[in-house]
Chain A
Amino acid sequence: MNLTYLRMVPMETVTARGRVLKLGKRVAFLEGELFDKDGNLLVRATSSAIPTPLPGKDD
């Protein structure tokens, strides 16, 4: 996971947006962004992950 801090995150409600860039069978590439109430981009993240069944779903 890579995080880029563009602006300081204020103590207020932030809007978070997450996106799947590519969902493969073995690897998923994800992206996330945080915005303040004026729509300014605060933080951006990308991550590489291994897709697994949702933990705790049917056990």
Chain B
Amino acid sequence: MADNAILGAPHAKLLGVKFDHFDKDREEITLRFHAPDSFITPRGSVQGGLVAGFLDEVMGWAHVWATDHEEAPLNLDISMSLLKPVMAGPVIGKGRVIRRGRKVIFLEGELFDEAGKLLARATSTAIPTPRPGGSA
């Protein structure tokens, strides 16, 4: 799929993103990540700000898919809660569109480990924009 090209963008590569599936009715996307060792702090888990990177990515793709790849979000804010440490290795991300307005959209994202435990969650407020690099 054409999107694997975009998922292959340098920042996405860093996050180890792979598309899993998109549920059109719920406007919910599932992505698989691979947290690299370079994201790990001396505490042994992914640095908090970098956890936000995964959440940002999964929320953003929910909006892109919900708009048939026409739009992408420009974030105004992200709020996140870190429930459990995110370890290096596989991470599953779910992102969904809570409300899609003309001027503002509301997104939500969650990260799970492979056992299905919720590790982190985020909400975001964003402005919908035409997709940069659009039909590329």
Query: Which of the segments B18-26, B28-36, B71-79, B110-118 contacts the partner chain?
Result: B71-79
Which residues in chain B, 65-108, are within 8 Å of chain A measured between CB atoms?
75-80, 82
Q: Are B42 and A3 in contact (CB under 8 A)?
A: no
Q: Please give the distance in Å from B54's CB to the nearest CB on chain A.
A: 13
The reply to whether A2 and B77 contact each other, CB–CB distance below 8 Å, is yes
Interface size class of A (residues with CB under 8 A): 10 to 19
Contact between chains at A3 and B52 (CB < 8 Å): yes
The docked-state distance in angstroms from the alpha carbon of A2 to that of B41 is 20
Max chain A C-beta neighbours (<10 A), residue from B52, B77, B80: B77
Interface residues of A (CB under 8 A from B): 1-5, 47, 52, 54-56
| Residue in chain B with minimal CB distance to A2 | B79
**Nearest neighbor of A49 in chain B, beta-carbon distance:** B48
Q: How far is the CA of A3 from the CA of B43 in the complex (A)?
A: 23
Q: How far is the CB of A28 from chain B (nearest CB, A)?
A: 13
Q: Given A1-B48, A1-B52, are A56 and B42 also a contact pair (CB < 8 Å)?
A: yes
Contact bitstring B43-69, A, C-beta under 8 A = 1, else 0:
110001100100000000000000000
